[in-house]
Homo-oligomer: A and B are copies of this chain.
Amino acid sequence: MLLDETARGVFVISVTPFTEDGSLDLDSTDRLVDFYREKGATGLTVLGMMGEAPKLTADESAAFVQRVLDRAGSDLPVVVGVSAPGFAAMKELSDRVMQMGAAGVMVAPPSALRTDQQLYGYFTGVADVIGADVPFVLQDFPLATSVQMSADLIIRIIRDVPSCVMLKHEDWPGLAKIDALRAAGRKDGLRRISILAGNGGMFLPEELRRGSDGAMTGFGYPEMMADVQAAHDRGDTDRAQDLFDAYLPLARYEQQPGLGLALRKAILARRGAIASAHARRPAPKLSPADMADIEFLITRQERRLKELN
């Protein structure tokens, strides 16, 4: 089951669960995959650049990916982040995870690249190195990479690199970029690839209206994204926005740079999706005031959702 241009829905960016003592928690990994599936995930993404994947050793990475793939089974495609400073390491990781059963890989540009020329060269090189038969997700995430990719450039890549089948759209929020890519499809016959939105879903309703196919991101309540998209797909724009608005105060809170991952893990642990909110060092710690904010927002969120049902 390989990823292709028709992918849609919610690809949850998975956290990496640890036990309280900091070791990889493979039991929680099973539980987490089940949780994501129950809450509406149509796919999973692991070893993304913002999670704790860089804090795993090579052996742990392999064990974690294997466990996720085993649990995800044949109906939940798994994308694996393979961004790396060199093509050799990228190829090695890509080869390994594709053999293990990944649906595709995801690549973000190195932050030293700036010009269209450099970036075009990089992504044609990526496709060449990992192999034309490996579908890949282009991760456009300027806030993290400092790399800005214009619509023109992405259009060139889509045109010339058939194995680029999805854009993880994490420009903030870059609605005009979705407009431009979809217009290029309508006017110039550009191949229509999948566009999944990032940024914790903070602009999901607008992104869906502009032509995105769902979300690839990691809010602690993934059902928000699934439910918003379902309402959107039914044409019920107001319902989609009502649901979105109900989750927005918490989604906003979880999106705090630096603190975001700790908050997400605290929410997932509170929901029973993982056994511990432990994050590997170096990591920020939540204060009692942070925990109180989460409780306050979750209580209100539940009340608001009840009002809406």
Whether A122 touches B282, Cβ cut-off 8 Å, given contacts A54-B85, A116-B115, A287-B179, is yes
Task: Give the contact stretch, choosing among A2-10, A65-73, A144-152, A184-192.
Answer: A144-152
Whether A57 touches B282, Cβ cut-off 8 Å, given contacts A148-B115, A179-B289, is no
Interface status of A235 (Cβ within 8 A of chain B) = no
Give Cα distance in the complex from A16 to B57, angstroms. 22
**How many copies of the polypeptide does the oligomer hold?**
4
Interface status of A40 (Cβ within 8 A of chain B) = no
> A121: nearest residue on chain B (CB-CB)?
B282
Which residues of chain B have C-beta atoms less than 8 A from A257's C-beta? 172
- Inter-chain contact A206/B293, CB cutoff 8 Å: yes
Task: Known pairs A88-B280, A117-B153, A210-B289; list 13 more (Cβ under 8 Å).
Answer: A54-B89, A86-B280, A87-B280, A116-B116, A117-B150, A122-B282, A176-B290, A203-B252, A237-B296, A244-B249, A248-B248, A248-B252, A252-B252
Chain A interface residues toward B at CB < 8 A: 22, 52, 54-58, 60, 84-89, 92, 110, 114-118, 121-122, 125, 129, 142, 147-153, 172-173, 175-176, 179, 202-203, 206, 209-210, 237-238, 241, 244-245, 248-249, 252-253, 256-257, 280-282, 287, 289-290, 293, 296, 300, 304
